[in-house]
Structure 1
Amino acid sequence: MPAQTSTNLSRRRITMSDIANKAGVAVSTVSSALHDTGRIGDEQRKRIKDLARELGYRPKLAAQLLPSSRSGRLALLIPTSNPVFTLQSGFAGPIIAEFIYQCTNNGKGYHIEFINQDKQNIELPYTGPDAFTSGLSDGALVIGYVENDVVRKWLHDNQEQYPYVSLQEPGPMSVSTDYAGGIYQAARHLYEMGHRKIAYMSTKSHYRVHVESLKGFKRAVEDFSLDTHDGKWIKLIGVQPHYQDWVRDHSKNAKTLLKASNRPTAIISHDVICARTTIYAAMELGLHVPEDVSVITSGSVYGAEKAPPLLSTVEPDSSSIVREAINLLNTSLMGEPVTRTNIIVDEKLFQGESVRSLTV
């Protein structure tokens, strides 16, 4: 394919992709520079802005006509039936904190709104989140799966006027963690530490975090020939209405695994609270972590550090997830073509004190 010349570019509207090609950077970097978001250096930001002016970059006409009615704010929509639990959770908590940090750090106004997941407690006809219908924001990030089908349909039907980016679940535009890759990485770490008898504890649900994580573990079992006691060491519990029921069922499964004469040498407990429950169950049986059994989890390092032992974990990169989502949203709001609508972000392995090497 021939290189684009300045003559070629002058015949059509300049896009962010053109600027990115000319500057030798990613489109997301150009978006960050032009929207004053993201963590790029001042010199890089100035160079990209100067290049945009030099090439004659202008947003689409539709985007140019909107600023008079724009709020200049972004929203974070949080579907939940229990706001207190959601704020404290290792799933949503880090994303909420990162959203506030990035908006504040870049001088961007923001609005945070809970969306009721309970279908019985929603006023009909539903007119949409206040973030949109009251003019409080121009676009939104949506955390997780929207259970309420009335709200989900409204977002889908109105996405042209009110653009949004889904976080951790599929959507017209989405940014998600590579959960399968993260759990696979955890299993590989255990394998490299000499473990072959490995159990997996998680929740059985339709949520992407649980579906993809289980896929990652099963792939690792196949690739590394891990022993799961013919699948009997894969312990999944259903979604529980009360937190204490969830903890109780995880504890029951952990004790079933650990009190058997033939037990795993390591357990992947999918969630920091699940891992802590596993460790407590081991203590009740007179076992020690990691001397008698190793435990690794998936969740934030902050949560992993809250109590001894310091947990080994694969951590979602909340900073990159929010940054990529804001760039996607800003690109859409500017009327630019979105070249990558579904972005996957890798997890990072943090080695704590809860995994023991079995290799000599």
Structure 2
Amino acid sequence: MFRFQEKRFCYSVQPAYNRSKMTRSRVSMKDVAAAAGVSLTTVSDALNDRGRLPEATRRRVRDVAEQLGFQPHRTARSLAKGRSGILMLSVSLPESTPGSAVDIEFFVQLMSAASGAALHRGWALVLAPATGSERSVPVDFDGAIVVDPRPHDALLRLADAEGKPVVTVGRDLENPDRLHVDNDHSAAVREALDLMAKAGAERPALLTSEADSSYVQDCIDGYNVWCTTRAMTPQVVTAAGGLTQGAGYEAARDFLTGPKRPDAVFTTLDSLALGVHLAAQSLGLDMPHDLQVATLSDSEAARQARPPVTAVDLNPVATGKEAVQLLIKAIEDAADTESFLVPTRMHVRGSTGTASPEAVSD
């Protein structure tokens, strides 16, 4: 949990009329009051948009504060507005997934970017438990980000019950109109399938995790549409055991030894693709000639596999930053608050046998 240290507004008192001296130290509210010829209370009311001040006085105080370079302490500003200065973030993982979000590179990059974006704007980002009840969040917060929300998510229930703004990464299937940051996963799947078909794939399969989050559902929808337009019979397999390499391995061993073995597989997460990769090698299948593999969500492990795995880069850094910016806008009641779609990029590598010159350097 982040711990705040309260500080007074006063930094170093210098004569308000001597600006050359004040530039060598931080300006206090007392300096602003002296320069504007008003009381400290008037300065506080003017800067925090409180009190019954004449508009001319309010504007003059703000102009003087800006000229002097006055910057109130961020914690004090939050308290003045009745806020905690805390944003809560949680990753809603399937119950079948062992470990935590820090085991998955996409979530690590997203959380790191979100934390940096929050601090840059003067907010603290706190990671909430991925599972549990509303009581698992014992601190006050001003808004929440929930990544890949699943039904009955505890942080969503708590935020809604307290009337706190929420932004989700991926759509909330129970409330599709909720503010969110997302990717066009359906289009990304179709692009990957086109790539593998161009390289000769005739029986591509889709390997997914549990279909209780929007990105998995979007992948299934995109895959089914692609198969329908080509009069192909879809083969959708759900991996048991959560978002793990082991789950991908076990599922792949089954369908790669079955009577209708696919010649290409797209997975909804890099860990599942790495499991397919291992299963193919254990069965003596050559990639990409016997089996092509591509995945949603790029990672260092996908890049280091041999052959390296073709992957859709979901840009988790941009996603984390956009989620924070959107949530702060919602908290501040900004007029231009609306959901945002982050563009994706395909990194073509050896697992599909169609690596481009750009992608080879990956």
1:129 counterpart = 2:137: yes
Partner of residue 247, structure 2: 246
- The separation in 2 between residues aligned to 1:274 and 1:241, in whole angstroms, is 9
- Select which of 216, 221, 238 maps to 1:236: 238
What amino acid sits opposite 1:212 in the alignment?
D
User: What is the CA distance between 1:213 and its match in structure 2?
Assistant: 0.5
Asked if the contact 1:116/1:148 (under 8 Å) is kept, the reply is no
The higher-RCO structure (CA 8 Å, 6+ apart) is 1
Matched, 1:255 2:256: yes
Q: What is the CA–CA distance in structure 1 between the aligned matches of 2:286 and 2:345, rounded to whole Å?
A: 26
Q: How far 1:247 moved relative to its partner? A: 4.1
Structure 2 counterpart of 1:206, from 209, 212, 236: 212
Q: Which amino acid aligns with 2:149?
A: Y
Task: Within 5 Å, give how 1:111-130 maps onto structure 2.
Answer: 111-118=125-132, 122=133, 126=134, 129-130=137-138
Of 172-181 and 74-83, more deviation after overlay is shown by 74-83
Counterpart of 1:29 in structure 2 is none
- TM, length-normalised to structure 1: 0.66
Q: Which residue of 2 aligns with 1:86?
A: 101
Two-structure CA RMSD over aligned residues (Å): 3.2
1:356 partnered with 2:358? no
Judged with a 3 Å threshold, the aligned counterparts in structure 2 of structure 1 residues 218 and 328 are, in CA distance, closer, same or farther, namely same
Q: Distance in 2 between matches of 1:270 and 1:88?
A: 16
Task: Check whether the contact 2:188–2:344 (CA below 8 A) recurs between aligned residues.
Answer: yes
Are 2:208 and 1:195 equivalent residues in the alignment?
A: no
1:76 aligns with 2:74: no
Which stretches in structure 1 are left out of the alignment for 5+ residues?
1-52, 54-63
**Distance (whole Å) between structure 1 residues aligned to residue 265 and residue 128 of structure 2:** 35
Please tell me whether residue 95 in structure 1 is matched to residue 99 in structure 2.
no
Q: CA deviation at 1:350?
A: 0.7
**Structure 1: how far apart are the matches of 2:255 and 2:123?**
45
Matched residue SS, 2:89: strand
Asked whether the 8 Å contact 2:102–2:108 carries over to 1, the reply is yes
C-alpha distance in 1 between matches for 2:185 and 2:89: 22
Please list the CA deviations of residues 313-343 of structure 1 after superposition, one character each: whole Å capped at 9, or x if unmatched: 1121212222222222222222222442x32
CA radius of gyration, larger in: 2
Q: Secondary structure at the match of 1:336?
A: coil
CA-to-aligned-CA distance 1:100-147 (integer Å, 9 cap, x gap): 34345x2644232223524xxx4xxx567344x2xxx43232222255
- Write the distance in 2 (CA, Å) between the matches of 1:65 and 1:110: 11
1:244-280 deviations in Å (ceiling 9; x for gaps): 87245323334335xx4x6433221222121111121
Question: Does the Cα contact within 8 Å between 2:249 and 2:276 map onto a contact in 1?
Answer: no
Output one character per residue of 1:213-242: Cα deviation in whole Å (capped at 9) or x when no partner: 11111112233x164xx33x332234x379
Give the counterpart letter for 2:250 in structure 1.
D
User: Is 1:343 matched up with 2:340?
Assistant: yes
Cα distance between partner residues in 2 of 1:91 and 1:71: 28
Task: Give the drift of 1:186.
Answer: 0.9
Q: Secondary structure at the match of 1:327?
A: helix
Please state how far the C-alpha of 1:77 moved relative to its aligned partner: 2.8
User: AA paired with 1:237?
Assistant: A
Residue 60 (structure 1) aligns with: none
Aligned length: 274
